[in-house]
Amino acid sequence: MKRLVQIVAAIATLCVASAAMANEAAAATKNFDGTGVAYAAAIAIAIAAFGGAIGQSMGIKSALDSIGRNPSAASKITTPMIIGLAMIESLVIYALVIALMLVLKI
């Protein structure tokens, strides 16, 4: 896991450095077509959907493990699980709304 974090940090550093070097060329052209905003919105919603899917799968896994160990507690586990899934899904919907706002602003 530590190695993965190092790799992601290195890739992020390279992306930021290339964007900083490209800033001079962008300042010379002064043309903004909104492609970067569209790409950023697409990446943002992809990351949000991925994180939401991971969170929901972990929540459902934990709830089903708990119900499997104690079937009589199923009614007490199901309601908080559904509320938690709704909260996770709302974060993904917020990311979608923000991405749509960015794209429609172009």
According to CATH, the topology of domain 32-104 is: F1FO ATP Synthase (1.20.20)
Strand ranges, E, within 1-106: none
Is 0.85 surpassed by the pTM of this model?
A: no
Confidence of residue 103 (pLDDT cuts 50, 70, 90): confident
What the block records as the tokens of 91 is 């974060």
Distance CA 64, CA 74 (A): 9
Measured between alpha carbons, how far is 76 from 69 in angstroms, rounded to an integer?
A: 13
Structural contact between residues 41 and 97, judged by C-beta atoms closer than 8 angstroms: no
How far apart, in Å, are the Cα atoms of 88 and each of 50, 78, 79, 82, 97?
11, 15, 14, 10, 15
pLDDT at residue 5 in the model = 80
Q: Where residue 86 falls among pLDDT bands split at 50, 70, 90?
A: very high
How does residue 31 score in pLDDT terms, banded at 50, 70 and 90? low
**Between 21 and 103, residue with greater pLDDT:** 103
